[in-house]
Amino acid sequence: MSFDWIKMGPDELVRDAELEFRVNMMKRFTAANLGFVKGNDGLHGDALRARIDRDYDALWWMAVVEVSRNEDTDRNRTINELLDLADAQDLLENVIVPGEYSEAIRANEPQAFVTFFVQRKYIERANKSDGEAALGVLSMSVTGPVTPDVPSPIGAPLEPGTKPVKVGPETVLVAVIDYGIAIGHDLFRREGPTGELDVSRVAFFWDMDGVPSPDAELPSSFGRIWTQNEIEQKLKQNMQNGLLDEAGFYREIGLIDWGRSVLKPCAQRVSHGTHVTGLAAGYPAEDEQGKDRKIIAVQLPGWAVHDPTGDRLDVPLERALDFIAARLGQFKITGTGKKPPIVINFSFGNFAGPHNGRGLIEQVIETALAQMAADFGSPQLMTLPSGNGNLSRCHAEFILTDDEDTERINWQVQPDDLSPSMLQVWMPVLPAVPDGAVSLTLMAPGAAGSATVQAGAAPMQAKLTENNEDLAIISYRPPNDPGEPGLFEVMVVSTGHPLNVGPLAPAGAWHLSFSKPHGIEDLTMNLWVRRDERLPGFPEFGRQSYLVDPRYGRFAEPGGKELDDDPDDHAGPVRRAGTISGYASGDTPAVIAGYVRSTGRMAGYSAGGPTLNDQRPTGPDASAVSDDSDVLGGVLSAGSSSGSRVALNGTSVAAPQVARKAADLMAAAPDQPLTRQDIAQLALDDDPPAPGKPRVRRTGGGRLRLPNLFGKLRWSAQ
């Protein structure tokens, strides 16, 4: 093994190391995963590389683009202006604008964020140092690539869905963005005129993984939308002897089709989306309450959920929220013509991000919610889980001072990790970053030498290579604006792979050392390792890397329980505090942590604050039950098949219970806004200060007393 550390020269520097890493450095792994390297077509060497490149360049990536300001018009660019810029760079063929953007929007509406489908050429151009001027792209987050078997998204503007949907005055919409949502479950159905359960409470379902169809009532640029009407047709066609033929229904809806190699979470006994939707809006058919809760469901695409770092479920969120807003626009309360209130639940969390509310997706959420509030005026609330990373050892915080001017942290990258491992280190916000304010030196296990990048006014990047193949990149990215923090990133390719992909990154302890010269003010640094674990029901893929520090005591005493709170005398940078999900650091959504019903203690994994967002310094707003007891993990809700009940834990299941409660509150007071502060107050009322109450950075206002929805027999209150 001959490792080389290479510092990138000024013309090799990219604006966003993460983009370069995902799209280029990981290319040989992604190509292998997609089966591009066949090995039985007689090609090798340069010819093979050329063929792989050709196939790879043809792939589409979903990108959320932060749009830059047009100096001439003094507002953000419109989509057409972005396309003009792309045209000027001869890249018009390499970008698809989803058909949901109308002609009018493309021509006239300045955009803060847009979702495009782009090919590698576009990404590379945007990532060059002059990318902002050339393409109007301030920054970009990508997921994918979209696997080749998925039809290309439709770029021509589509007919919008404007048919009004009339509902009663007690109606509240519950929107769920998730993965693996078995919409035919009996908890989402009601009895029809024939006495069979063939009335669906799902008003709209966008299966982003679905097979597009020209027959769809509501067209979509990718995936397939099912309206209540279409769902009911399929339900009626598949009723047999009073039961839904689930195999037939899901085959016809395309959620379970064994001819497709796409993941089929609804075929598993436990599916995350079904369980979450059951908690948020599942009602037995005979429960009258169900009549007034209409479901809008969005299923994230498998090619995004399966994305190597598992941390990029947020990119499709922009389209999902746009879809929900557009559907909300179709509803009308009979009599008043007003829009019904809406609760939106997104039960996913990540580890990384700036945690100051200004991350890309946090801003996407804020923008979308603000727009919905402005357009519709009815009560709205988004619920998010606080995250499950409390014990993951994926966060460190340390202060570099003149006296303590160095910090050393070991980052354990696991062997046989098929997905990349990545971490971020955020500087504090500074009016100007002095050159050399912080140095980060990286050493790799088994490799001699090191690379150093420094914070300052300019970006810096260095790579670790072996036989000219990239293994890792270390970068510093200066802030885009004075109010933003500078960012160090370390990204390492897979440490294991069954196919012949070339050199793998070494597994083991990667050593990071930070130092600050004298004379510069004290700097509080925040490090988060990106989430990278196998999601339940998925095949073995990622293995979570984590930080190692001897001062981090995992256990109270040897053989004792794992500590789930940093002890008061905690030393060292690695913390449980501050592991709250990056997505959950924004201003507006209600962030929910998880506690154990039987003991009242927070669930060990339930992540908490603080955050770096002044609007949300302590972290979660409230907490709900995520485990019935220490032995009976999780809470019961819908399994994939009708009649099925399964347990699932995590803050993922706490959030939708609060969504359900929020819907009830909105139904009782449909003209009153409901904010996360209201939820926090409710929690405080339910859980007043008392000895034994968990600390605020883990529980927010407190532990909400919500009804035990489906598991009363599992754990009854003592």
Partner 1 sequence: MAIESNQSQQGAFGAFGAFGTSGAFGAFGAFGAFGAFSGTGAFGAFGGGPVDPPLVSAALITSRDGIAGSWIPVSGSAVDPSGQEDVEYLERLSPAVRGSIFALELGSRIGFGFEPDAADATKPGWARVYHLEAALPGSTDAKYVPLVAVKRPTQKIFAQQLDLVANYADLRQDRMGEILSQLGTPTEFLRAIAFIEPARTPYTIELLATAHWLANFVEMRLKYALACKRPIEYSPQIQPMIWTPTHGALPSGHSTEAFTMARVLWLLLRANKVDPPKENPYDQGLWGEMLMRVAARIAINRTVAGVHFPVDSAVGAVLGLTLGRYFVDRCTFVETAGDPANFEFPKASWEFDGTKYFRTMDDGTEVGDIDFDWRAYYDPRDPANGQNPEQKTSADWVTRTALTGVDQTQAMSKPLHWLWGKAADEWKDF
Cα 459 to Cα 471: distance, rounded to the nearest angstrom: 20
Part of the chain binding partner 1 (CB under 8 A), chosen from 147-155, 234-242, 285-293, 467-475: 234-242
Cα 556 to Cα 578: distance, rounded to the nearest angstrom: 20
Nearer to partner 1, 259 or 689 (CB): 259
390: left (phi over 0), alpha (psi -120 to 50) or beta: alpha
Chain mean position to CA 529? 15
Closest approach of Cβ 259 to partner 1, in Å? 5
Pairing mode, if any, of strands 508-515 and 406-413?
A: antiparallel
Chain mean position to CA 612? 19
Nearer to partner 1, 431 or 539 (CB): 539
Closest approach of Cβ 558 to partner 1, in Å? 34
- CA dist 498 to 32, 508, 513, 544, Å? 9, 19, 32, 18
Cα 534 to Cα 544: distance, rounded to the nearest angstrom: 8
Copy the structure tokens of residue 583. 């997505």
Return the residue of 240, 500, 716, 718 that touches partner 1, per CB under 8 A.
240
Nearer to partner 1, 259 or 688 (CB): 259
Part of the chain binding partner 1 (CB under 8 A), chosen from 252-260, 391-399, 506-514, 552-560: 252-260
Q: Does 245 bind partner 1 (CB under 8 A)?
A: yes
Return the residue of 243, 399, 448, 457 that touches partner 1, per CB under 8 A.
243
Closest approach of Cβ 494 to partner 1, in Å? 20
Contact assessment for residue 526 and residue 574, using Cβ atoms and an 8 Å cutoff: no
Part of the chain binding partner 1 (CB under 8 A), chosen from 256-264, 286-294, 393-401, 586-594: 256-264
Closest approach of Cβ 212 to partner 1, in Å? 16
Part of the chain binding partner 1 (CB under 8 A), chosen from 131-139, 189-197, 240-248, 683-691: 240-248
Part of the chain binding partner 1 (CB under 8 A), chosen from 117-125, 253-261, 430-438, 455-463: 253-261
Copy the structure tokens of residue 689. 């200060």
Q: Does 267 bind partner 1 (CB under 8 A)?
A: yes
Q: Is the dihedral of CA 316, 322, 325, 329 positive or negative?
A: negative
Q: Does 553 bind partner 1 (CB under 8 A)?
A: no
Return the residue of 9, 45, 193, 259 that touches partner 1, per CB under 8 A.
259
Q: Does 162 bind partner 1 (CB under 8 A)?
A: no
Closest approach of Cβ 269 to partner 1, in Å? 5
Q: Does 242 bind partner 1 (CB under 8 A)?
A: yes
Copy the structure tokens of residue 618. 């302590």
Return the residue of 7, 166, 260, 561 that touches partner 1, per CB under 8 A.
260
Q: Does 261 bind partner 1 (CB under 8 A)?
A: yes
Cα 672 to Cα 228: distance, rounded to the nearest angstrom: 28
- Angle at the Cα of 71 (from 65 to 75), degrees rounded to 5? 60
Pairing mode, if any, of strands 508-515 and 69-70?
A: unpaired
Q: How many residues bind partner 1 (CB under 8 A)?
A: 19
Q: Does 40 bind partner 1 (CB under 8 A)?
A: no
What are the two backbone dihedrals, phi and then psi, of residue 609, each rounded to the nearest 5 degrees? -80, -170
Nearer to partner 1, 187 or 646 (CB): 646
Residue pointed to by tokens 């008043």: 336
Nearer to partner 1, 37 or 523 (CB): 37
Nearer to partner 1, 7 or 260 (CB): 260
Q: Which of 354, 293, 344, 295 is nearest to 322 (CA)?
A: 344
Q: Does 241 bind partner 1 (CB under 8 A)?
A: yes
Chain mean position to CA 626? 20
Nearer to partner 1, 574 or 648 (CB): 648
Q: Does 195 bind partner 1 (CB under 8 A)?
A: no
Pairing mode, if any, of strands 137-146 and 60-67?
A: antiparallel
Nearer to partner 1, 626 or 641 (CB): 641
DSSP annotation of 356? S
Copy the structure tokens of residue 347. 């039960």
**CB proximity list for 24: less than 8 A, separation 6 or greater:** 120, 124, 470
Return the residue of 58, 247, 370, 669 that touches partner 1, per CB under 8 A.
247
Q: Does 258 bind partner 1 (CB under 8 A)?
A: yes
Nearer to partner 1, 275 or 660 (CB): 275
Copy the structure tokens of residue 320. 């999902």
578: left (phi over 0), alpha (psi -120 to 50) or beta: left
Nearer to partner 1, 243 or 432 (CB): 243
Helix (H), strand (E) counts: the chain: 16, 34
Part of the chain binding partner 1 (CB under 8 A), chosen from 257-265, 366-374, 510-518, 578-586: 257-265
Nearer to partner 1, 53 or 257 (CB): 257
Q: Where does this chain bind partner 1 (CB under 8 A)?
A: 240-243, 245, 247-248, 251, 257-261, 263-264, 267-269, 539
